Amino acid sequence: MDNPKVKVQASPKFGMGLFAVRAIEPGEEIASFDGELYSWTTADEHLPNDPPLYVEDHAIPIGEWSARDSAGFARVANHSCDPNCGIRDFVRIVAMRPVAAGEEITWDYDMAQDDGIWDMLCRCGSPICRGRVAGYRFLPPDRREAYRGFVSAWLLEHERPFAGRAIDVLGPVHHLCGSGRIAGEQPGTDGYRPKGS
Ligand SMILES: [Zn+2]
């Protein structure tokens, strides 16, 4: 359920985003990916249940081959390499620390994805920005420690050794995520439509 202390508005950095309108306590749920379920396979890109590209970019992975979109505003929450929220269970965005009124709600997309395909150039502006976000395997040990309790359950089902920083391993060249969005650079609506519109 969408937390009433949070609203969707234009983000100075990311297009649309979620913002706290009142202070939020650590552990409070912000929103959840409670919408349509998708699955796909690399064997055939044209299976009827393959997600449209725009969905791939907004749904949260909940397993090796499946993802879930949100009915509410969870899909609008932007990535940060130094986020104030994380993922509980599989689909819930939950505050990791106190969030002040006016602050943008962010989570680290590598808390939920590791398919070896999806990646994203990041310009979140954090001093610890990783530059390229490409999956949990590229999440450094200190970040994994900082995110303890806030990583999607499917990523913890087996060990995923640190493969090095994505920017070092894969280089600065990137392929854009589904909508062609670059975090921190390209404005857009993120496909979000308020209920009833
Ligand atoms: Zn970043």
- pLDDT top residue among 58 and 156: 156
Q: How far is the CA of 44 from the centre of ligand 1 (A)?
A: 32
pLDDT (mean) for 14-38: 93
Domain borders along the chain are 6-169
Q: What separation in Å is there between the alpha carbon of 8 and the centre of ligand 1?
A: 21
Average pLDDT over residues 38-45: 58
The string of DSSP letters for 88-133 reads ETTTEEEESS-B-TTPEEEE-GGGT---SS--EEB----TT--SEE
**Mean of the pLDDT values across residues 125-151?**
96
CB 55 within 8 A of CB 180: no
CA of 129 to the centre of ligand 1 (A): 4
What type of residue sits at position 158? H
Cα of 170 to ligand 1 centre, how many Å?
16
What pLDDT was estimated at residue 59?
Answer: 87
Please tell me the distance between residue 45's alpha carbon and the centre of ligand 1 in angstroms: 29
Question: Rounded to an integer, what is the distance from CA 57 to the centroid of its chain?
Answer: 9
pLDDT, residue 55, reads 55
CATH of domain 6-169: 2.170.270.10
pLDDT of residue 162: 97
Strands in 92-95's sheet, in edge-to-edge order, are: 29-32, 92-95, 85-88
Res. 40: pLDDT tops 70: no
